Amino acid sequence: MIAFKFLGAGAVAPYTGFRWPIRGEWVSAPVHRADVWIHACRLSDLPYWIDEELWRMELDAPLRETRYQIASACGRLQGRVEGWGPPLARKFAEACAWRARDVALPGLPPALRDAIAGAADLSAIVAGAAALGSVQGAYTAKNAQQGLPALTSYIAAVLASSTGGGLGAFEAERAWQARWLVAQLGLDAAPHAGAT
Amino acid sequence: MKLSVPDLSCRELVELVTEYLEGRLPFDERTRFELHLGYCDYCRTYLRQMRQVLETAGELTEESVAPEAKSSLLAAFRDWKGGSGGEPT
Amino acid sequence: MESGASEPSSATAEERVLGALRAGDEVAFLALVNRHHRAMLRVASMYVRSGASAEEVVQDAWLGVLKGLHLFEGRSSLKSWIFRILVNCAKARGACEGRSVPMSALGDPTEDEGPSVSPDRFSGDEERWPGHWSDPPEPWPDAQVESSELVALVREGIETLPETQRTVMTLRDVEGWDSGEVCELLAISEGNQRVLLHRARSKVRAFVEERLGSGRPR
C-alpha cells in the first residue's frame, strides 16, 4: 500500500535519528513489537507531520490504522515527492496564516480588526497586530514569514478549534490543509492510501 | 486558551522524555508526544540534548583500578589459583 | 569480520570468561576486574561512608568471588552473581560502620523533587500558550558535541548527582545495563527506576547546558 512519510534532511527520521535507506531497501521491525513499527501518513495525515522532505512509501501488510497515522512492520521508501521544498513550504505557511487571520478576525477588537482586514500582505498584518499587542495574529504571521509551516499550520488549526468547534474544528482545519497540500503536490493522481 | 486538541504542552513533554526514549509511553500519549515534536523545534532540541547526554555517558572509558589494589587482587588470584581454586587441566 | 561466525551471545562470552578464570588466566581476571570496577565502586558507595571503604568493599567482593567460584552453577549471570556478592559485602561493611541502610536510604523515588525543568522557563497558565517554552533550550554547537568536552561535562555532571540517581544512570547509561538488571540489583520497581533515571539525565542535561552557555544570562 502506498503512503507518505515526512523526514528530516538526508532522509533521517526526525525523532529517532534513524537513517532511511534511500535506494528503496525494505526496513522491518519485529511483528510482535507494534511500538516500534514504521509510521507513515495517509493523505489526511500529512499536515500533522510536516518536515523537510516528503517521501512516497510502500508499506507491507499487516497495517494498523490509527487516528493520525498508519503503521506497518515493513516499509520502504519509493522516492521523493520533489514538489515539497522550501518554496512550497513557505507558500503553505502563508496560506495557513491567512486562514488564521480569517478565523481570528471576528474575535479581535474593532480597531485591530479594521487594520488587519485591510492588510494586503503578511508584513502589514504583523505590524498591525504587534502595534496593538495582539499576540495571536502576530505570532502566526511572523512564523509564516520565517517559513515554519508545521508551527503555522498547527496554530491555524488550534485557532479554528478555539472558537467553539473543539476537536472537530481542529480536524476540519487540518483536513483543509491536507486538501491544499494534495492539490499543490498533485498527490491524488496516483492510487494511494486514504484518498479523500 | 483551553486546548481540546491532541497535544501536550512543552512543560508536560519534558517530563515524559525518558519514558518516550524507553519506549514506555502508552500509544495515545506517544502520538501526542510526537505530534507536539512535529511543530515544536524547542522540544526537538530538548529531546536531542537528552539523547546526546545518555549517548555520551556510554562513551565514558573504563575506570582503572589503583595500582596497589591491582597488585593485591593479583596476589589474591595467585593464592587462589595455587590453593583450592583453579581447575585441574 | 569472519564469514559464518555469529556474534557471541553474552552467555557464551561469560562461559569463556569463567573458563579462563578457572584455568587461572590472570589477564582475563584483571580484564573482568577493570570491566566492572566503576559500577562496583558506585554500588558499594551506596552502603558505606567513604571512598576508601568502597574500594575495600570491592576488594573483599573479589575475594568472595574467587572463594565461591567453584560453587557458581550459572543459574544467574556471572555479572549478577558478582554484584550480589558485592552488595552483601557492602551491607556487612556498612553495618560495621554503623551505617544502617534501610530501603529509604536509597531515596524514595516517589518523593516529589518538583519538575525536572524550572517552571519559569515556560509560559504561565494565564498566558496565551500555557506551558510552552518561554526560555527555550538552544542547540549545542556541533563542535562541542563532537569533542571530548561533552564527555568531560557529562562525567562531571554525573558526579554531582544524588547517590541513587547517580548509580542508576551509571549502570544504565555508562555501563549499559538493561533496566531489568538494575531493578533486580537495587530491588526497585521498573517505574521507580525510570523516575530515578529521568531525574538523573535531566540534571546532567541542565548541568551541561549551564556550562556550555556560561556567560549568557538566563
Of A88, A78, A38, A72, the closest CA to residue A55 belongs to: A78
Of A54, A69, A53, A49, the closest CA to residue A150 belongs to: A49
Query: Which residues in chain A touch residue B44, judged by CB atoms under 8 angstroms apart?
Result: 14-15
Residues C31-51: tens digit of each pLDDT: 999 999 999 999 999 888 888
Q: Judge whether C34 and C26 are in contact, CB under 8 Å.
A: no
| More confident position, A124 or C190 | C190
3-state SS string for chain C:
CCCCCCCCCHHHHHHHHHHHHHCCCHHHHHHHHHHHHHHHHHHHHCCCCCHHHHHHHHHHHHHHHHHHHHHCCCCCCHHHHHHHHHHHHHHHHHHHCCCCCCHHHHCCCCCCCCCCCCHHHECCCCCCCCCCECCCCCCCCHHHHCCHHHHHHHHHHHHCCCHHHHHHHHHHHHCCCCHHHHHHHHCCCHHHHHHHHHHHHHHHHHHHHHHHCCCCCC
Per-residue pLDDT at A196 exceeds 60? no
Cα A135-A140-A142 angle, rounded to 5 deg: 90
Residues C138-184: tens digit of each pLDDT: 999 988 888 889 999 999 999 999 989 999 999 999 999 999 999 99
CB contact under 8 Å between C116 and B14, yes or no, is yes
Q: Report the predicted TM-score, pTM, of the whole model to 2 decimal places.
A: 0.85
Q: What's residue B1's pLDDT? A: 40
From A17, A68, A158, residue closest to B31, measured CB to CB? A68
Average model confidence (pLDDT) across chain C? 86
Query: Which residues in chain A touch residue B2, judged by CB atoms under 8 angstroms apart?
Result: 162
Q: What's residue C86's pLDDT? A: 96
Report residue C59 CA to chain centroid gap.
19
Residues B30-86: tens digit of each pLDDT: 999 999 998 888 999 999 999 999 999 999 988 888 888 899 999 999 999 887 555
ipTM for the predicted complex comes to 0.87
Q: What domains does chain C contain, in order, with CATH numbers?
A: 10-96 (1.10.1740.10), 103-212 (1.10.10.10)
Amino acid identity at A62: P
Sequence spans of domains, chain A: 2-82, 86-187
- Give the CA dihedral A71, A75, A78, A81, nearest 10 degrees: 30
Sequence spans of domains, chain B: 1-59
The residues pairing with A5 across neighbouring beta strands, listed in sequence order, are A55
Residues A91-144: tens digit of each pLDDT: 998 898 888 877 777 766 777 677 667 766 666 666 666 655 555 555 666 666
A135 touches B: beta carbon within 8 Å: no
Task: Kindly state the cell numbers that stand for B34.
Answer: 510526537
Q: What's residue C126's pLDDT? A: 77
| More confident position, A70 or B61 | A70
State which of A88-92, C95-99, C207-211 shows the largest mean pLDDT: C207-211
Query: Which residues in chain A touch residue B37, judged by CB atoms under 8 angstroms apart?
Result: 14-15
The residues pairing with B64 across neighbouring beta strands, listed in sequence order, are none
